[in-house]
């Protein structure tokens, strides 16, 4: 008799588990409020129209012989092998029994309890977030085009803040710069000298997980692109129209994109499963939650105490692939080996057709690396459909520019 395998989440980790798991061996249920897998590595490109939203998503229901339920998991009863769920739309509550549970719920954006961030800042984690940012960016330019505005009023609409100097913040700033250089100059004439992009980072450098020389190169390129980088700085308060910085400066702004770190979801925070001081589930080298017989976890919401891995999509994807294959072996009564992580490095886009590659074999930057960056991401997209759509979007942007329609 097949066991009931329940997978929480639809991100890189969960999706990789599902792709590898043999549904002839398990009754598979997927519980997630999001009914698609999102290739988040290219999400910043959608905020300005370089890539269209649907080009980087894959419906969960495309996974054959697996049951999908659109809901949040609100609690886990390990003693009873039950999870408690709530529907995202009707708010209906229900329970689901499991024999094996896989937790891959990721994390959420950390606002650090800074006043006004949750209300006025725009996060960048989901397609809906990218869509809101895209609408707001266009609104800022349209608002600045209204007649009778002073130059200072126009500048206020056209001051874009990005909080967070990690890959998401850097890539969004880079995509916004490209949009301004390649499209705004043509479609919103006279704005070039009024636009300001400010990138705020609490640490002393950008892209802290990259090689120091690549970080310095990024600063040099951003300076050339006239992106104002403020390191050793942080936002202390946000209102509808103003941003307060720790050095005492106050800025009017049109848009604030917040990409300043992650924190645990409510499910993980409230869970009785073993956690560390940063609310990450403690797992062993087989990705099993400490002390549990049938609960596995992977991705951003977890940590192996003696071997912490980078909190990246790559880590979650590789863990998911391992766990899917391991579960197949377990069902067949075969022995499994512990998970071994091999770091393949990181990539980041920094604008003006330049990218960074930070791998063990190669550390590079510039135009050739940008070609490499695009090539790698095309191969990593999960379906032929996505590959074709992204290639077409890049071609369309190159030939016709980005669409500035608001809808």
Within-domain flag for 339? no
Domain identity same for 234 and 257: yes
Domain identity same for 320 and 188: no
> Does residue 81 come out as left (phi exceeding 0), alpha (psi in the -120 to 50 range) or beta?
left
pLDDT at 151 over 90: yes
Q: Which two tokens stand for residue 88?
A: 């995202």
Within-domain flag for 65? yes
> Does residue 47 come out as left (phi exceeding 0), alpha (psi in the -120 to 50 range) or beta?
alpha
Domain identity same for 173 and 81: no
Per residue in 32-86, pLDDT tens?
A: 999 999 999 999 999 999 999 999 999 999 999 999 999 999 999 999 999 999 9
Among 231, 261, 291, which residue terminates a domain? 261
> Which CATH number covers residue 51?
3.50.50.60
Among 331, 346, 379, which residue terminates a domain? 331
Question: In a 3-state reduction of DSSP, which class is residue 14?
Answer: helix
pLDDT band at 361 (very low <50, low <70, confident <90, very high): confident
How many folded domains does the chain comprise? 2
Domain identity same for 182 and 303: no
Work out whether strand 100-103 and strand 3-8 pair parallel, antiparallel, or are unpaired. Answer: parallel
Within-domain flag for 125? yes
Within-domain flag for 366? no
Among 205, 239, 261, which residue terminates a domain? 261
Query: Average pLDDT of the chain?
Result: 96
Domain identity same for 236 and 287: no
For the question of whether the overall pTM of this predicted structure is more than 0.85, the answer is yes
Within-domain flag for 398? no
pLDDT band at 360 (very low <50, low <70, confident <90, very high): confident
Work out whether strand 66-77 and strand 250-252 pair parallel, antiparallel, or are unpaired. Answer: unpaired
Beta strands in 239-315 (DSSP E): 242-245, 250-252, 255-258, 262-263, 281-282, 295-297, 302-303
Q: What is the number of other CB atoms lying within 10 angstroms of the CB of residue 176?
A: 24
Q: What is the pLDDT of residue 343?
A: 85
Rg (CA), the chain: 22
Q: Which two tokens stand for residue 298?
A: 């992977």
pLDDT at 407 over 80: no
Domain limits at 70? 3-107+264-331
Q: Find how far residue 295's CA is from the centre of its chain.
A: 25
> Which CATH number covers residue 136?
3.50.50.100
Within-domain flag for 359? no
Domain identity same for 294 and 219: no
Share of the chain above pLDDT 70, in %: 100
Q: What is the pLDDT of residue 342?
A: 87
Q: Which two tokens stand for residue 28?
A: 């598979």
Cα-based distances in Å from 238 to 69, 200, 361: 37, 14, 43
Per residue in 375-393, pLDDT tens?
A: 999 999 999 999 999 999 9
> In which element (H, E) is residue 87 found?
strand 82-87
Average pLDDT over residues 221-238: 97
Beta strands in 145-240 (DSSP E): 159-163, 196-200, 227-230, 235-238
- Tell me how far apart the terminal alpha carbons of the chain are, to the nearest angstrom: 51
Within-domain flag for 204? yes
Domain identity same for 203 and 305: no
pLDDT band at 362 (very low <50, low <70, confident <90, very high): confident
pLDDT at 161 over 80: yes
- CA dihedral in degrees (263, 269, 272, 276; nearest 10)? 30
Within-domain flag for 327? yes
Q: What is the pLDDT of residue 31?
A: 98
Per residue in 243-284, pLDDT tens?
A: 999 999 999 999 999 999 899 999 999 999 999 999 999 999
Per residue in 269-279, pLDDT tens?
A: 999 999 999 99
* d(C-alpha 5, C-alpha 3), whole Å: 6
Domain identity same for 219 and 238: yes
Per residue in 13-34, pLDDT tens?
A: 999 999 999 999 999 999 999 9
* d(C-alpha 334, C-alpha 25), whole Å: 13
pLDDT at 105 over 90: yes
Domain identity same for 249 and 268: no
Q: What is the DSSP letter of 230?
A: E
Domain identity same for 228 and 284: no
Domain identity same for 256 and 289: no
Q: What is the pLDDT of residue 282?
A: 97
Output 300 or 407, whichever has higher pLDDT: 300
Work out whether strand 354-358 and strand 159-163 pair parallel, antiparallel, or are unpaired. Answer: unpaired
Per residue in 296-341, pLDDT tens?
A: 999 999 999 988 888 899 999 999 999 999 999 999 999 999 999 9
Share of the chain above pLDDT 90, in %: 93
Domain identity same for 183 and 237: yes
Any bridge partners for residue 71, and if so which? 87
């Amino acid at each position: 008799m097949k066991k009931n395998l329940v997978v929480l989440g639809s991100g890189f980790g969960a999706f990789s588990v599902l792709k590898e798991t043999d549904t002839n061996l398990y009754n598979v249920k997927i519980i997630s409020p999001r009914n698609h897998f999102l290739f988040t590595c290219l999400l910043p490109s959608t905020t300005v129209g370089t890539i269209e939203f649907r080009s980087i998503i894959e419906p969960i229901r495309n996974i054959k012989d697996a049951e999908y339920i659109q809901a949040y998991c609100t609690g886990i009863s390990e003693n009873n092998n039950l999870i408690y769920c709530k529907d995202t739309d009707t708010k209906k509550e229900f329970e689901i029994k499991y024999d094996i549970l896989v937790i891959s719920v990721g994390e959420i954006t950390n606002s650090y309890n800074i006043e006004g961030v949750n209300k006025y800042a725009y996060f960048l984690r989901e397609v809906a977030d990218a869509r809101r940012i895209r609408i707001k960016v266009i609104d800022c330019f349209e608002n600045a085009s209204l007649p009778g505005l002073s130059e200072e009023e126009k500048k206020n609409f056209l001051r874009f803040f990005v909080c967070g100097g990690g890959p998401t913040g850097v890539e969004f700033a880079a995509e916004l710069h490209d949009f301004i250089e390649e499209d705004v100059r043509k479609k919103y004439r006279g704005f070039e000298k009024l636009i300001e992009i400010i990138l705020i980072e609490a640490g002393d450098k950008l892209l802290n997980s990259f090689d120091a020389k690549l970080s310095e190169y990024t600063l040099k390129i951003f300076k050339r692109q006239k992106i104002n980088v403020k390191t050793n700085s942080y936002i202390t308060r946000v209102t509808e129209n103003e941003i307060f910085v720790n050095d005492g400066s106050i800025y009017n702004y049109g848009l604030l994109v917040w990409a300043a770190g992650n924190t645990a979801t409510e499910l993980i925070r409230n869970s009785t499963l073993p956690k560390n001081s940063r609310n990450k589930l403690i797992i062993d080298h087989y990705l099993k939650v400490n002390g549990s017989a049938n609960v596995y976890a992977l991705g951003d919401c977890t940590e192996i105490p003696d071997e912490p891995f980078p909190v990246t999509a790559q880590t979650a994807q590789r863990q998911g692939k391992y766990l899917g294959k391991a579960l197949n072996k377990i069902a067949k009564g075969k022995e499994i080996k512990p998970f071994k992580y091999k770091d393949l490095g990181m990539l980041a886009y920094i604008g003006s057709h330049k990218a960074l590659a930070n791998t063990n074999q190669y550390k590079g930057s510039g135009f050739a690396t940008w070609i490499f960056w695009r090539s790698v991401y095309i191969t990593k997209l999960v379906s032929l459909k996505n590959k074709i759509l992204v290639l077409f979007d890049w071609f369309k942007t190159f030939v016709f520019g980005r669409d500035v329609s608001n809808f």
